[in-house]
Chains A and B, each alone.
Chain A
Amino acid sequence: MKAILHLAVICGLIILTVFSCENKDLDDYEEGLITGTFLGYKLINGHLSVDTVRGFCILLKNSEHSNSNSPMDLYTFSLPDNYLIFPPEIYKYRYNGSTCGPMFFPDSIISKYKIMLKYRSSTEDEIIDFACGFCTLDAPTFMWQFYEQVIIEEVKIRLP
């Protein structure tokens, strides 16, 4: 009986330790959503190349852009491969051919991919110079300069 009591106390301590560590850890993360994706064509000396990079759009919690036509604050090319399980059709998205901007997810899944992340701004050397192909000029051309290209240092799927 005494041994059982000791075991229970130890388990309780372990659980407390784990949870307190987890909470402390998550305090350093920002909450956000993956809201869209795009395929960028790398620019080499200003010229479009055939090399492509897959980017993702991130909308931070309580962002002023939450309800805008472009729900994103940051974009990154450093989301770990297969970290989030996107439906295959998401990878067919290349870019928005009317805006030269990203393809935002449809309403049905735009709130689905919740993440906790640590990120930093890309340094000058790290910034990837890219363009999203040709687009028609009947819609506003996407203002990439209003959004920050970031390097993701750590990312977790946010617990529901």
Chain B
Amino acid sequence: MKYQTMILLILGLILMASDSLNNDQKEIFYYARDKKIPLLIKENTLIVKFIDGFDKEKTEQFLKGYSSFISIKWIKPLIAEIVVESERLKEQLKSELYSKDLVYTIQPLYTLDTGYELIVTDEIVLKFLHDISFKQQMALHKQYNTTIIKSSKVYNKIKIPKGADALEIANKYYETGLFKFSHPTFIGKFELLQEIPNDPYFNKQITCRNTGQSFLPDGHSGSNDADIDAPEAWEITKGCSDIIVAVLDQGVTSNHPDLPNTRQIRLDESNFADGNEDDPSPTGNLNHGNACAGVIAATMNNYKGIAGIAPNCRIMPIRIFNSNNTHISYEDVASAIVFAVDNGAKILNISWGAAGSSEDVIAAIEYAINEDCIVVAGAGNNALHNYNTNGEVLFPANVDVDGVITVGASDRNDDQANYSPTSSSIDIVAPSSRDYSRWLSISGEYPEMWSIDIPGSSGYNPWPSEREHPPEEDEEIPDSESGYYYLAFTSRFGGTSHSCAVVSGIAALIVSLNPELNSEEVLDILKSTAEKVGGFNYTSGRCNEMGYGRVNAYQAVLATTGGPISGNTLLCQSPNTTFTYSNPPAGTTVTWTKSSKLEYISGQSTNFYTVRAYSWASGPGWVKASLNSACEGLKYNVWVGPPTLEVTGPSEGYTYNTYTFYADPIGPYSSASNYNWVLNPEYGNHVYNYGDYADIAFYDPYDGYQVLARAQNTCGTGNYAVWNIFIYNYWEEYSISPNPASEIVTISVAKSSISNPTAKELKAEDLNKTYTIRIFDFYGNLHFSCIRSGESFTIPVSNLRDGNYFVQINAGKRISNLKLVIKH
């Protein structure tokens, strides 16, 4: 019994210790603009940078032999992402790789809280503050044993020692207070080309990009890829300004900071409800129209709020709800629809519904469809699946008119939203909130989709949420535009209204690529490209819960364009280059456009387009194929003519030093080779050409050297790119005393700069040199060796026999010999 008690006590202590260890887990972060950006470590994953010249094949064999579950993905020729089945194996593998001397560094795979993966290897990007002396800089590099591998006007790049932790060193550097910035060189990891907007709330728009990130306001996190792939779609199109989406609703705020009037079509007589007939602005707290409009087309990359799904398309606000949130007459609703169609709207967003139908409204919808408008309608929110209530699709989403797109809601995990009806009328679903806070609903669920709000204290934010959900701190963007920016965004949108707006946005992207598509054709594209999510039984491609599935914007725009375009990526003046546009949709006319460096030869309106480079041209270029004269099309990027380089390196230095300069080709397709480096004037300096970089050893001072580089490709030799460097003169004289000596000698270094009219005065403390001191006898035998730094230093000589010696002082590029006499 005593023995058992003892075991329990020990177990308890172990548990407590492990708990305390967990609580003491190290905070992981990097510094960016004075802020700590938290990082997470991806489990079971290593980022390995192998040493140059390692045997890839043998290494892979070794790794695969190590564990049958191992996964190896090569990020770059020397960098691999390795995933094993457990943390324990990860640590074992790490030790083994280091012991085999195969690797330079092994780092974890970091992720941001958004789930975005950041790869760190062995480099740090940094910039010292302006007044930090060269000596201080070098002292720090020496302390951490780092090596400068690139210097430019805007940053330096250093390499950490073998086996070191790049994140730890970068943070220690920054914490000295000597840096403007210091963080590891992050290699972003994208599966596809994606355009990530700079809008501050984009990370919370899980509809557009869901990486499983935790998002406000409720701290929920979704499932990776339960989204519409908007960033991937934006690589193809962000929409055209002549595609107009009519939002028939409660009105849209005039000149909203994220949807200015330049991006709205605000027409006279577009208010069919009470108030000024020429002003379709919302009244009171009625923000529903704004919320729909923001999801569809809020401005992207303006550093404000959110990004709309079709951020280049425009919104036509039509107000059909009165100030007390009741609708206008059915005849007037019908008139509003006809008004939108007659004034150029290509898409009608109908995020409202009713239990009964109206002949007037049906007739107006038929008119819109016949005019090739795309009609998108929300299904309604009257299901309660957790209580086996399937709900029903409301009017007009349930109208029996071919081409009306009936949209249900999926949630952040690609499940059916609890309120989204199960019905044979559902065509597709799009992401929205999971449920509402209401009687019988799923506990802890609220509308949590982001959009724009009436600026200031009205609208969704903080009303009506103020009683239950006051705005989160993040929802209160600080006043930056005379108060108009404040509370201009909300996180409390949801329902099939949101899903409907998502589909309207995608439809806007689709017709931006082919404006001649009608509603049925757009619906066909959406159906055929939707993802069959939710685990339902899709019979012949559809089920009543999710229709044809959850929409995918990227796949939809890709299917709209057909394609791809194929052809060379490097275009010269001769020979001509022909591009092929495969699989354009039937019945479409292909219109080709090109960048200005290319000369048209033949093929307009066909699938084959031939161009060549102008004789003078060098630089990036493109060809684009658009369908039916759409403003947007498939773009194909190329390089035109000989390569263009950009040279970077240090902007100043000292004689007797070697500096590295880099020549980076502009654009990925220039195929630059045969690099040529020139120093102008060359004088007695030496240029060591290593292809895309060069080391230049400076022996002669001059106030303005030009470092020039150019390269060749099959089109010819490019022009020289230039980098300027100032080299300051630097000279040292050494003296030994006493001489003759018996016990200790002192070596003094006198540093000076030769007068130069423009060079700045060199101060001895600017330099932090180390000197390798060796003492030889006259037969060349080494008797003493050490490394010293400073302006004077002592050497013990008491163990040297009497005689004559040479003291060799190696200061990098310059070696001096002094005579020393020992006499005891």
Contacts and interface: CB of A to CB of B under 8 A. Distances in A.
B324 A94 contact: yes
B410 to A, nearest CB: 15
Interface string B489-532: 00001111110100000000000000000000000000000000
A136 interface: yes
Interface in A130-152: 131-144
B497 to A, nearest CB: 4
B191 to A, nearest CB: 33
Interface string B318-329: 001100111101
A18 to B, nearest CB: 42
A43 B355 CA distance: 9
Nearest to A97: B325
Contacts of A92: 324
B354 A135 contact: yes
Interface string A97-125: 11010000000000000000000000000
B567 interface: no
A77 to B, nearest CB: 16
Nearest to B329: A50
Nearest to B351: A137
A47 B497 contact: no
Interface in B428-447: 436-439, 441, 447
Contacts of B780: none
B326 A48 contact: no
Interface residues of A, number: 31
B330 interface: yes
A136 B381 CA distance: 10
B226 interface: no
A113 B439 CA distance: 23
A100 B391 CA distance: 14
A78 interface: no
A122 B357 CA distance: 24
B419 interface: yes
Nearest to B492: A138
A68 interface: yes
Given A134-B353, A136-B249, A47 B359 contact: yes
Interface string B474-496: 00000000000000000001111
A46 interface: yes
Contacts, number: 110
Nearest to B433: A138
A27 B378 CA distance: 48
Nearest to B435: A140
Q: Which residue of B358, B381, B447, B496 has the most chain A CB atoms within 10 A of its CB atom?
A: B381
Contact of A134 (B354, B497, B500): B354
A136 B288 contact: yes
A41 interface: yes
Nearest to A49: B356
A17 interface: no
Contact of B321 (A46, A69, A97): A97
Contacts of B327: 97, 133-135
Contact of A140 (B321, B333, B394, B495): B495
Contacts of B353: 100, 134-135, 137, 141
Nearest to B333: A134
B439 A137 contact: no
B497 A138 contact: yes
A65 interface: yes
Nearest to A94: B326
A95 interface: yes
B356 A43 contact: yes
A35 interface: no
Q: Which residue of A48, A136, A141, A144 has the most chain B CB atoms within 10 A of its CB atom?
A: A136
B381 A140 contact: yes
Contacts of A48: 330, 354, 356-358
A137 B354 contact: no
A140 B355 contact: no
B352 interface: yes
Interface string B337-370: 0000000000000011111111100000000000
A98 B382 contact: no
A131 B382 contact: no
Contacts of B437: 69
A137 to B, nearest CB: 4
Contacts of A141: 353, 380-382, 391, 394, 419
B384 A143 contact: yes
B646 to A, nearest CB: 50
A144 B384 CA distance: 13
Given A43-B356, A47-B359, A69 B438 contact: yes
Nearest to B287: A138
Interface string B368-404: 0000000000111110100001010010000000000
B206 interface: no
Given A69-B438, A98-B288, A137-B500, A143 B389 contact: yes
Interface in B69-99: none
Contacts of B382: 140-143
B213 interface: no
B357 A46 contact: yes
Contacts of B500: 137
Contacts of B210: none
Contact of B495 (A69, A97, A139): A139
A132 B395 CA distance: 12
B494 A138 contact: yes
Contacts of B324: 92, 94, 97
B489 to A, nearest CB: 15
A133 B326 CA distance: 7
A141 B389 CA distance: 13
B326 A97 contact: yes
A70 B540 CA distance: 40
Nearest to A41: B356
Interface in A32-56: 41, 43, 46-48, 50
B291 interface: yes
A138 B493 contact: yes
A136 B358 contact: no
A74 to B, nearest CB: 15
Contacts of B378: 137
A96 interface: yes
Nearest to A144: B355
Contact of A100 (B250, B333, B354, B389): B354
7 contacts: A70-B438, A97-B321, A100-B355, A135-B354, A137-B500, A141-B353, A143-B389
Interface of A: 41, 43, 46-48, 50, 65, 68-70, 92, 94-98, 100, 131-144
Given A137-B497, A144-B355, 12 more contacts: A43-B356, A47-B356, A47-B357, A48-B354, A95-B326, A135-B327, A137-B380, A137-B500, A139-B495, A140-B382, A140-B436, A141-B419
Q: Which 7 A-B pairs have the closest CB atoms?
A: A97-B325, A131-B355, A141-B382, A137-B497, A134-B327, A68-B439, A48-B356
